[in-house]
Amino acid sequence: MSDFDQDDVAAMRRENGGKDFRLFMRQQIAEGKARRDKPATTKQPKPPGHRPGAWPAGSRPPDPLKPQPPGAWEHALHRYRQNEGSDRDPCHCGGCDTTSNDTEEN
């Protein structure tokens, strides 16, 4: 905003029949609105083939774990606690990573 005083406003009103003053005031209003109004945000478009609530194309929910005999979870937990901190596979439940070396100790 520019610095102006009463003499400047009086001079603007005298020049061009007050046209300069009206233009100046419109400019001031426009600058104030520009500071107040925020630009409209646009939503990101959905990817092609998007279905709300569906699994993405080419994927599916994970398979359920294979059934376990009674006591298998307790045995796996016991083995896990024995092997904690090692790089061996502590569990054979089907949900754990089985890519590591599989050695059983009883």
Provide the pLDDT for residue 89. 53
Instruction: For 79-104, write each residue's pLDDT tens digit.
Output: 878 776 566 554 555 556 555 454 45
Instruction: For 32-46, write each residue's pLDDT tens digit.
Output: 888 887 777 888 888
- DSSP per residue over the chain, as a string? -----HHHHHHHHHGGGGHHHHHHHHHHHHHHHHHHSPPPP-PPPPPTT--TTSPPTT--PPPPPPP--TTHHHHHHHHHHHHTTSSS----SSSS---S------
Provide the pLDDT for residue 92. 59
Provide the pLDDT for residue 97. 54
